[in-house]
Chain A
Amino acid sequence: MTMEWFDTESTRQIAETAGRFARKELLVRHREAAESGGAAAGLEHALREAAAMGLLAAPLPEDLGGAGMDALSEAILWEKMGGGLAGAAALMAFHSAGLRVLAGLREAPSVRAWLEGAFLQGDAPRGPALVSLALPDPVEDREPGGQAGGPGAEAPHGCRGGARGFLCLPGLPEAGRVVFLIPVGKEPAAVRWMEPREATAFFTRSHPGSGLEELTPGRLSLPGGARPPGAETLCSGEEAAERVRQADARLRISLAAVQTGNAEAAWTEAREYASQRVQTGRIIVEHQEVRRMLVNMETRVQACRSFVTRAAALAERAPPGACEAQALAGHLFRFCGEAAEAVCLDAVQVLGGYGYMKDYGVERRLRDCKSLQGILNSHPVDWLGGC
């Protein structure tokens, strides 16, 4: 695989380390654990390994025990992780985005204390400390008090002015923090954080059965205008608004990179299958239609990668408040989601009946891709406010 834009020693090293981790820990070990019904344990093991390798502290400055990665290096990291298991990669990307917010607020005593303690816990029995990021949800129920999260799950004050957290994992309530990014315009912008134990009071699990099985994607509903009990406000006003925008943009770039890695892996799996499967007396890659599909997949993967690179470079250089970088991140998230879906759909199609069966793993890439597309609930807003 040519990675011509990995043009420095450090980015090459990140790609190699993350790629190795993704293959060994996510693709092989975690898949084995998931098949034997231990998806959560498999993920926990993977997270411990990631913490030990320093992959969970990628965006933190070095003086706080992190790797001090820039946006481009992070994009490479998440692409490689996405090639292993998109769900786990997305979880880490959320964590990373949360850490980035906290790193910017390191002067707050509670944040600094937690950050310093968090990475001493990397090998603690309860696992690495994780941050879950709750981003504002642009879509809300019409009826006040309408359901959120399905039958039986009540949102006490509807979703108005609320926020949604999408990624959580079984070990999180014991070890991490939830950072809420409160939307601008609904109420005074604010960055708050709270113990997951308290956040779970507002957490409703989504319907299982789609991708990201080992995670429990769900919805965090905050009472409109009210401060959740136990939550501490870290900053507010214009400063908070800017932090929300930046975190949102960086998370979108990270998730687009995860989609790119996931799509590339689907393409690779389809290519390998097509080079072995014989139909009509020929390996199927010799059929021009199959070749067309594979070439289209590659084009899309390369386009995603180029777009991620550009958005990451812009995000790194953009001054605070630069709308262009944030808008680009929105377009990127949407484009990569759709392109990755097209790649994964074609990958399943190349494998035919085998592609639809769980044993081959390509169908999982398609499901993960669809889950990631919807994880920020952004599309109606992309259309309506994206121009």
Chain B
Amino acid sequence: MLPAHENGCETTEPRPTTPFDSIRKARVTDPNTRGFPFSMGEAFSNLRLAHTVPASYFTHAEEVRERARRFADLHIRPQALEIEKKASEDPGYFHWDILKKACDWRFFSLMIPRAFGGQESRVLAMSVMAEELAVGCAGWATTIGVHSAGISCGMLTLDPYILEHFIRPTAEKEKQGEPVVWSGAVTEPQAGTDIWDEDFLQKARIMTVAGKVKGGYVLNGRKCFISNGSIAHYSVVAAALDRRNPRDSWTLFLVPTDSRGFSVGRVERKMGQKASPTAELIFEDLFLPAELRLGEEGSGARAVSIYLAGSRGPVGAIGVGCARRALECLVDWAGRKRTARGRLLDQQAVQMTIARMAQEIELGRQAYVNAALAYDHFVEDLFHQPLTQLALKALPSAFIRSGVGKGVLASAPVKKRIQNLLDKVFSEDRLALASTLATLAKVKGSTVGVEVAGEAARIMGHDARDPRWPVDKCYRDAKLTQIYEGTNQANTITFFKDMVRTWEEG
């Protein structure tokens, strides 16, 4: 390691890098959450939840598991390597046939409320789907998972305009066999890790700015590394209204990708997950009507935190899926191969390794199930609120689409009430718990993916690249789960901050 000054670092006096008291700014009061992990409160809280949720919550997740497993076996596995090869040669290549088939299996409407034509699934079902699809190919788990996360982001605004004009058509088009794809765009070329954290956002070098104009906003800037970026019909884009004050002006917008001023820049050449295109998005004087703003102005940082508390668990599930496929390959391989001592599967060293891998996979799975259970409880709570019931079920389509309805729903008092409701349901207490468990699930699942696939590849040697046992692909695919949705390091910082908020003073 070079001396600090040669590394271009400041050679300052030794000082604390992140004073502890500055982190513990918002304390948690919920006794279930307090004292994580010393109190075991979160464990009992989740155990109690498991008894209170309706049986349909679990049976639906099981049904989604079966559906995703069959879909992966029938449509993803047989083509995964061929698609990867084509995407290696041309990063812009996308295999639309699989997405069209996914319409028949209803993966596009998974998170959409029933009143708007969807299945009203929760994060548990989405995570289970992500694991099963990732066993087939992690790239498809990402494509469909990012779509579901984008839909959730739009849905959690409880904005009837968005639900009626964008989310309902997504479910309707699915019935017609036409995939309508969503994506989420947060990362920027100069702002990666810091853009994902509410506290770091203020110092981030933001280049995507929405300027207020009559009737809406004008969006300018660039986003990079956007999953589904080049194929999405709608993108949920985070932008600052004031570049000098990004945290307080951070706002989400729904951007139809056929808007004038929208273009796709480069499509990235990646190490893995090649089935899922990752692209740069460019916004040049893109006009967005005010109705396409998601939530209140300046609510974006909070909305992203809520979104991440739901989306990070499924990323862990993708890592677990990669690990599962690698283990499956290793078991098959070890059953067919032998050394001078006999069949590899009959050797204790191989058996112990397989057992350790299975243990890790189960731990990764428990982590994302736990995170999903906590998060889904809050979403259930939100959906049972009278205002939510009104927004989702009671308002007729005709009213929402009428000029009067549009005016009423876009009015400041209505938007304010929705925002207050979201703030109440996703309180500091609850968000701290959900976020802690979600970051844990993301870090654990992705680490399991890389470690299990890496170990399987080490054991299988040259055969890890044999098309019969695509362990090398699992390894490359799993590595991305340690990076996207905030690097594991960024997740761990968030974990620490959320955790200490639950600690007693002193």
**Which A residues are within 8 Å of any B CB, using their own CB?**
138-143, 146-147, 149-151, 164, 166, 185, 206-210, 217, 219, 271, 274-276, 278-281, 283-290, 294-295, 298, 337-338, 341, 345, 348-349, 352-353, 355-359, 363, 366-367, 370-371, 373-381, 383-384
* Contact A353/B7 with A367-B271, A367-B476 known, Cβ cut-off 8 Å: no
* Contact A374/B464 with A283-B9, A337-B458 known, Cβ cut-off 8 Å: yes
Q: What's the nearest-Cβ distance from chain B to residue A234, in Å?
A: 25
How far is A359 from B475 in the complex, measured between Cα atoms in Å?
Answer: 19
Are B458 and A374 interface neighbours, CB within 8 A? yes
Q: What's the nearest-Cβ distance from chain B to residue A195, in Å?
A: 24
How far is A337 from B488 in the complex, measured between Cα atoms in Å?
Answer: 24
How far is A200 from B405 in the complex, measured between Cα atoms in Å?
Answer: 74
Given contacts A209-B85, A286-B10, A374-B465, 6 further A-B contacts (CB under 8 A): A142-B338, A150-B467, A345-B479, A352-B487, A358-B270, A374-B464
Residues of B344-393 contacting chain A, CB below 8 A? 344, 347, 349-350
How far is A374 from B453 in the complex, measured between Cα atoms in Å?
Answer: 13
Q: What's the nearest-Cβ distance from chain A to residue B469, in Å?
A: 10
Are A166 and B483 interface neighbours, CB within 8 A? no
Annotate B167-207 by CB proximity to A: 1 below 8 A, 0 otherwise. 00000000000000000000100111110000010011100
Are B462 and A285 interface neighbours, CB within 8 A? no
Are B482 and A349 interface neighbours, CB within 8 A? yes
Annotate B439-467 by CB proximity to A: 1 below 8 A, 0 otherwise. 00000000000100010011111111111
Q: What are 10 A-B contacts defined by CB distance under 8 Å?
A: A139-B337, A139-B463, A206-B465, A207-B81, A279-B191, A353-B187, A353-B224, A358-B271, A366-B479, A383-B347
| Residues in chain B near residue A352, CB distance under 8 A | 192-193, 483, 487
Most buried by B among A208, A355, A357: A357
Residues of B1-59 contacting chain A, CB below 8 A? 1-2, 7-10, 17
Are A210 and B17 interface neighbours, CB within 8 A? no
Are B2 and A289 interface neighbours, CB within 8 A? no
Residue of B nearest to A386 (CB): B349
Are A375 and B461 interface neighbours, CB within 8 A? yes
Q: What's the nearest-Cβ distance from chain A to residue B489, in Å?
A: 5
Are B203 and A280 interface neighbours, CB within 8 A? yes
How far is A341 from B475 in the complex, measured between Cα atoms in Å?
Answer: 12
How far is A210 from B474 in the complex, measured between Cα atoms in Å?
Answer: 11
How far is A77 from B24 in the complex, measured between Cα atoms in Å?
Answer: 53
Are A146 and B192 interface neighbours, CB within 8 A? no
Are B480 and A380 interface neighbours, CB within 8 A? no
| Residues in chain A near residue B484, CB distance under 8 A | 353
Q: Does B336 contact A (CB under 8 A)?
A: yes
Other-chain residue from B269, B339, B450, B460 in contact with A374 (beta carbon distance below 8 A): B460
Are A373 and B457 interface neighbours, CB within 8 A? yes
Q: Does B501 contact A (CB under 8 A)?
A: no
Are A210 and B472 interface neighbours, CB within 8 A? yes
Q: Does B268 contact A (CB under 8 A)?
A: yes
The count of residues in chain B whose C-beta lies closer than 8 Å to any C-beta of chain A is 69
Are B462 and A151 interface neighbours, CB within 8 A? no
Are A341 and B454 interface neighbours, CB within 8 A? yes
Are A164 and B271 interface neighbours, CB within 8 A? no
Q: Does B341 contact A (CB under 8 A)?
A: yes
How far is A307 from B49 in the complex, measured between Cα atoms in Å?
Answer: 53
Are B458 and A139 interface neighbours, CB within 8 A? no
Are B461 and A384 interface neighbours, CB within 8 A? no
Residue of B nearest to A294 (CB): B1
Are B479 and A356 interface neighbours, CB within 8 A? yes
Are B339 and A140 interface neighbours, CB within 8 A? yes
| Residues in chain B near residue A363, CB distance under 8 A | 270-271
How far is A310 from B458 in the complex, measured between Cα atoms in Å?
Answer: 24
Are A206 and B466 interface neighbours, CB within 8 A? yes
Closest 7 interchain pairs by CB? Answer: A377-B461, A281-B203, A374-B461, A363-B271, A358-B269, A275-B8, A383-B349
How far is A106 from B297 in the complex, measured between Cα atoms in Å?
Answer: 81
| Residues in chain B near residue A373, CB distance under 8 A | 457-458, 461
How far is A138 from B341 in the complex, measured between Cα atoms in Å?
Answer: 10
| Residues in chain B near residue A219, CB distance under 8 A | 462
Are A139 and B464 interface neighbours, CB within 8 A? no
Are B457 and A370 interface neighbours, CB within 8 A? yes
Q: Does B468 contact A (CB under 8 A)?
A: yes
Q: What's the nearest-Cβ distance from chain B to residue A177, in Å?
A: 22
Q: What's the nearest-Cβ distance from chain A to residue B171, in Å?
A: 32
How far is A358 from B458 in the complex, measured between Cα atoms in Å?
Answer: 23
How far is A118 from B410 in the complex, measured between Cα atoms in Å?
Answer: 81
Are A357 and B270 interface neighbours, CB within 8 A? yes
Q: What's the nearest-Cβ distance from chain B to residue A113, in Å?
A: 33
How far is A373 from B471 in the complex, measured between Cα atoms in Å?
Answer: 14
How far is A210 from B479 in the complex, measured between Cα atoms in Å?
Answer: 14
Residue of A nearest to B353 (CB): A383
Are B194 and A279 interface neighbours, CB within 8 A? yes
Are A380 and B350 interface neighbours, CB within 8 A? yes
Other-chain residue from A142, A284, A345, A359 in contact with B337 (beta carbon distance below 8 A): A142
Most buried by A among B1, B205, B488: B1
| Residues in chain A near residue B489, CB distance under 8 A | 289-290, 349
| Residues in chain A near residue B268, CB distance under 8 A | 357-358
How far is A140 from B271 in the complex, measured between Cα atoms in Å?
Answer: 30
Q: What's the nearest-Cβ distance from chain B to residue A248, in Å?
A: 15
Other-chain residue from B338, B465, B476 in contact with A140 (beta carbon distance below 8 A): B338
How far is A107 from B184 in the complex, measured between Cα atoms in Å?
Answer: 69
Q: What's the nearest-Cβ distance from chain A to residue B80, in Å?
A: 11
Are B468 and A378 interface neighbours, CB within 8 A? no
How far is A213 from B492 in the complex, measured between Cα atoms in Å?
Answer: 35
Are B204 and A280 interface neighbours, CB within 8 A? yes
Q: Does B84 contact A (CB under 8 A)?
A: yes
| Residues in chain B near residue A371, CB distance under 8 A | 465
* Contact A271/B338 with A280-B193, A353-B484, A374-B464 known, Cβ cut-off 8 Å: no
